[in-house]
Amino acid sequence: MGMNTITPNSNINFSARYVNSATVKKLDKAARDYVNRSAYMLEFDPASKKDLDAVVKIAERWNGARFGDDIATTANKLYYSKENPHQERIFLFTTQNSNYAVPDVKQILGVAQTSCDDGYSICVDYIQTKPSLMNKPDKSPKQKDFKHVGVGMLDSLKKKFADKPVYLYPLPDVVKFYENNGFKEISKNPTKYKWTKQG
């Protein structure tokens, strides 16, 4: 399988927005196969109107996205209220590799939201992959432009919070996904999963 890994231009002065990168699979239509491609995690700036506009546009364009509206609601709250008692943070996962001060909605593959209530551990509140890239069992198989976007977002979050325990409360239909990515069940009522770098 071929390699098509793109790294950020070394001449770009990254701001604090850039978090890290992870690997996803991009369809090479000529080869009729998927190749590795880097995607980049950026952190939402609650003081940036451009960031807010990007998240709101995502919610509007990703019609039917399970968590798109919830994340947009959080973005609006963080921008307009300036209060953040739960230490909520929003992350954009994109193929855009320059000019991060102006997020390109078309290149965003997914969005995630985390929170922290105890000052130490991290809770993954939402992970939302672009709907057109999600697996839909009730639909006929179709090659998507990108695969492994959810895995890539999780990998980026794990790298970002490698020194902390990461928790989440998964819905039943995505439990297996998180188990396959290193999360272990620690509670059944409510259903709660945990990941640590040590396993």
- pLDDT above 70 (res 137): no
pLDDT tens digits for range 155-164: 999 999 999 9
DSSP classification of residue 130: -
Amino acid in position 81 = S
Report if residue 6 sits inside a domain.
no
Among the ranges given (37-46, 97-106, 173-182), the one the predictor scored with the smallest mean pLDDT? 97-106
Report if residue 11 sits inside a domain.
no
pLDDT tens digits for range 15-72: 448 999 999 999 998 988 999 999 999 999 999 999 999 999 999 999 878 899 999 9
Say which residues have a Cβ less than 8 Å from residue 195's Cβ, sequence separation at least 6: 158, 165, 166, 167, 181, 182, 183, 184
Query: What's the CATH code of the domain at 137?
Result: 3.40.630
Nearest to 166 by CA among 151, 153, 154: 154
Same domain? For 93 and 42 the reply is: yes
**Beta carbons of 150 and 177 less than 8 angstroms apart:** yes
Report if residue 134 sits inside a domain.
yes
Host domain of residue 38: 18-164
Same domain? For 154 and 93 the reply is: yes
Report if residue 143 sits inside a domain.
yes
Whether the full predicted model's pTM is greater than 0.75, yes or no, is yes
**Beta carbons of 98 and 9 less than 8 angstroms apart:** yes
Same domain? For 83 and 158 the reply is: yes
Report if residue 37 sits inside a domain.
yes
For helices 49-61 and 68-81, the axis angle rounded to 10 degrees is 160
Report if residue 7 sits inside a domain.
no
Same domain? For 135 and 174 the reply is: no
Residue 136 pLDDT level (bands cut at 50, 70, 90): low
Mean pLDDT of the chain: 88
Q: Which residues lie across from 24 on neighbouring strands? A: 37
At which residue do the structure tokens 């950020």 appear?
8
In residues, how long is the chain? 199
What span, in angstroms and rounded, lies between the C-alpha atoms of 176 and 107? 28
Q: 34: which 2 tokens?
A: 């998927």
Q: How many domains does the chain divide into?
A: 2
Nearest to 89 by CA among 111, 69, 64: 111
Same domain? For 173 and 158 the reply is: no
Same domain? For 190 and 107 the reply is: no
Report if residue 129 sits inside a domain.
yes
Q: What is the mean pLDDT of residues 142-151?
A: 90
The pLDDT value recorded for residue 5 is: 34
Report if residue 50 sits inside a domain.
yes
Q: What is the mean pLDDT of residues 63-89?
A: 92
